């Protein structure tokens, strides 16, 4: 059920996307190990390179609002009404990696979820335990 809660949250917040330049709307929802959901949408900027992806928006919200003991990411669901599936970009993969993300869920054109172990989408990754 929590998986579908995350998908629902991602789809809902994609409608909040601020994407006047690309027109590409994205919603993301993080489910923590503790069972809390944090959502985010992309926020673009007239200075294009400053645009923030939905996934990183969700991470910012998690860090701002979570107790420090519940910052492990069980999964992230990513939704875009523009295209399916919508995978996290490379920068977002690395940011999600920081918080131990275990799984990425994307939706096909019919809305059916595909689940990817995080290691599959960011193999041999660099993380905080290496330091
Ligand atoms: N975008 C996301 O928010 N997440 C993704 O996974 C891919 C791309 C945003 C960034 C930008 O606002 C727009 O989509 C087009 O790249």
| pLDDT tens per residue across span 56-103 | 999 999 999 999 999 999 999 999 989 899 999 999 999 999 999 999
| 56 token code pair | 């990183």
Distance, in Å, from the CA atom of 82 to the CA atom of 79, rounded to the nearest integer, reads 9
3 state DSSP class of 66: coil
Q: Summarize pLDDT for 46-68 with one digit per residue, the tens.
A: 999 999 999 999 999 999 999 99
pLDDT band at 1 (very low <50, low <70, confident <90, very high): confident
Number of domains into which the chain is organized: 1
Residues with CB under 6 A from ligand 1: 19, 22, 24, 26, 42, 44, 51, 53-55, 78, 86, 88-89, 92
Query: Distance between alpha carbon 58 and the CA centroid of its chain, in Å?
Result: 6
pLDDT band at 109 (very low <50, low <70, confident <90, very high): confident
Instruction: Report the CATH number at residue 24.
Output: 3.40.140.10
Distance, in Å, from the CA atom of 48 to the CA atom of 70, rounded to the nearest integer, reads 33
- State the pTM of this model: 0.97
Give me the domain span that covers residue 6. Answer: 2-130
């Amino acid at each position: 059920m929590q998986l579908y809660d995350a998908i629902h949250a991602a789809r809902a917040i994609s409608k909040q996307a601020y994407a006047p330049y690309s027109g590409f709307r994205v919603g993301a929802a993080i489910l923590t190990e503790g069972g809390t959901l944090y959502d985010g949408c992309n926020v673009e900027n007239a200075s294009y390179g400053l645009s923030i992806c939905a996934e990183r928006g969700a991470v910012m919200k998690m860090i701002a609002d979570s107790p420090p003991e519940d910052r492990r990411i069980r999964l992230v669901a990513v939704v875009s009404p523009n295209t399916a599936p919508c995978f996290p970009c490379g920068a977002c993969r690395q940011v999600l990696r920081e918080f131990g993300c275990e799984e990425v869920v994307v939706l096909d054109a019919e809305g059916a979820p595909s689940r990817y172990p995080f290691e599959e989408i960011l193999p041999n990754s660099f993380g905080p335990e290496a330091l």
